[in-house]
Amino acid sequence: MLNHSYNQDNLEFLVTLWPTFSHFPRFAKDHRLSGIRLNSAMIKVDELNNELGLARSITDSVPLYFDIKGRQLRVKEVLPNKKRLELVLNHPIKVQTPTMVLFKAGADYALLQEIKNGKHLIFEGGPEYNVYPGESIHIREKSLEVLGPTFLDYEIEKIEKAKQAGFKKYFLSYVESQRDIDEFREFIGDSEIIAKIENKKGLDYVANEYKNQKNLNLMAARGDLYVEIDKPHEMMDALRLIVSKDKGAHVGSRILLSLVNKPVPECADLMDLSWLYDIGYRKMMLCDELCLKEPLLSSAVNVLDAFRENYANKTAPRERYRDLFSRLINFRK
C-alpha cells in the first residue's frame, strides 16, 4: 500500500533495465536503488520467458516493476515507399488531417495527410530521420481519439507472463481515467500500480478524477509529457499538480541527462533535482538512455546517492549544499 506508508524524508531512486543487459545483475543487487523497471515496449512476447527467467534467478534483488504500455501510440510496421512515409500503428485512431506528428521524443516531425482503416498513416514526405517499428509517436491535435481496446492482445500476453513470473508491481503508461486503472486491475488484481501521466488528458484525470487509492500512485512521466503539453513552461504547473494530488508520486525521465556526454553533471541538472525534491517528489526514475550503458548508469546512481546524502537528508539549506559539489567528481567507477 504505497500512499499510507509514504515517508516524506525518504528519497528513492529507480532505473530501467532488462535482465539480458550485462550490468543488470550488478544493479539488481545495488540496494541504493528502490526498484528496477522492465520496459516492455521493445520486447517481443516470445522473448519474455527468457528475460523474466533471468530476472527471477537473481536472489536478494531490489524490487522489480513491469511496465505495460496501454494506449500509447507506437509504430507497428513501416511500409515500403520511397516517396513518403507510410506506417501502421498499434492502435486505430481518429484525428482531423492534415496534422503534425512528432517522432523521436519531439526532435523530428512529419505532416500526416491521410488515415486508412484507422491504423494506416500516410504522410506528406517524411521526417528527417528513419522511423522504426516499436517507436512511439505523438499527435497533439485535440481531435485525436485512440480507438479500440486499451490493452492489445500482445500486451495482455505480456501481463499474463509477468503475473506468472510473480510480478506484483506495475507501471501503466498513458493513464487518462479511472477506467484505465479499473481495466488494468481486471488483469493484475490488487497489485501495485504506478499510473504514468503522459499527456493533457492524463493531467485532466489528475485534476478532476484521481483519488488516493490502495496500491496506486501517480508518476509525472516527463519524457512524453513534455512533448504532449502545449507549451514548454506548462511543465512546472503539471509537475506541481501531480505531486499536490499524490504525496507519494514518482517523477521520471529527463533527469541527469548531461551525464550522457560529461563525467560530471551540469549545474542545471542538479538544480532540477533540487527543485523536484523541494516541491515534494521523493521517488525519482532515470530515463532509458542513461541506463543502457553501465558507465553512464554508474555515474548517475552515484550522483543521485550523493544528492540524497548531502541535500535530501539535510534539513537546513546550508547543510544541504555544503558537501554536495565536493562529491560530484570521479563518478564513473
pLDDT per residue as tens digits for the range 106-131: 999 999 999 999 999 999 999 999 99
In this predicted model, what pLDDT tens digit does every residue of 256-296 receive, in sequence order? 999 999 889 999 999 999 999 999 999 999 988 899 999 99
β-bridge mates for residue 250, sequence order: 219, 283
Residue 304 DSSP SS3: helix
Give the pLDDT confidence score for residue 313 in this predicted structure: 72
- Beta strand pairing status for 169-172 and 12-16? unpaired
Distance CA 175, CA 146 (A): 12
CB 29 within 8 A of CB 61: yes
Query: Residue 5: which pLDDT band, with cuts at 50, 70 and 90?
Result: very low
Compare 133 and 321 and report the one with higher pLDDT.
133
CB 226 within 8 A of CB 203: no
Distance CA 239, CA 156 (A): 30
Task: List the single range of 192-201, 272-281, 313-322 with lowest mean pLDDT.
Answer: 313-322
Rounded to a whole number of angstroms, the distance between the first and last alpha carbons of the chain is 36
Query: Residue 315: which pLDDT band, with cuts at 50, 70 and 90?
Result: low
Distance CA 135, CA 154 (A): 16
Percentage with pLDDT > 90 across the chain: 85
Give the rounded distance of the alpha carbon of 328 from its chain centre: 26
Return the C-alpha cell found at 172. Answer: 501503466
Give the pLDDT confidence score for residue 288 in this predicted structure: 87
Prediction pTM value: 0.90
Distance CA 251, CA 113 (A): 35
Distance CA 263, CA 124 (A): 42
pLDDT at 39 over 60: yes
Give the pLDDT confidence score for residue 42 in this predicted structure: 73
Distance CA 250, CA 183 (A): 22
In this predicted model, what pLDDT tens digit does every residue of 69-81 receive, in sequence order? 999 999 999 999 9
Give the pLDDT confidence score for residue 85 in this predicted structure: 97
Give the pLDDT confidence score for residue 327 in this predicted structure: 59
Residues 78-110: b if buried by 16+ CB within 10 A, e if exposed: beeeeeebbbbbbbebebeeebebbbbbeeebb
Residue in the block written with cell 538512455: 289
Distance CA 33, CA 53 (A): 21
Query: Residue 3: which pLDDT band, with cuts at 50, 70 and 90?
Result: very low
β-bridge mates for residue 195, sequence order: 172, 218
Distances (CA, A) of 79 to 103, 105, 132: 16, 21, 10
Residue 72 DSSP SS3: coil
Return the C-alpha cell found at 208. Answer: 478532476
> For residues 174, 135, 109 and 232, what is the CA-based torsion angle, rounded to 10 degrees?
40
For the chain, give the mean pLDDT: 91
Return the C-alpha cell found at 324. Answer: 554536495
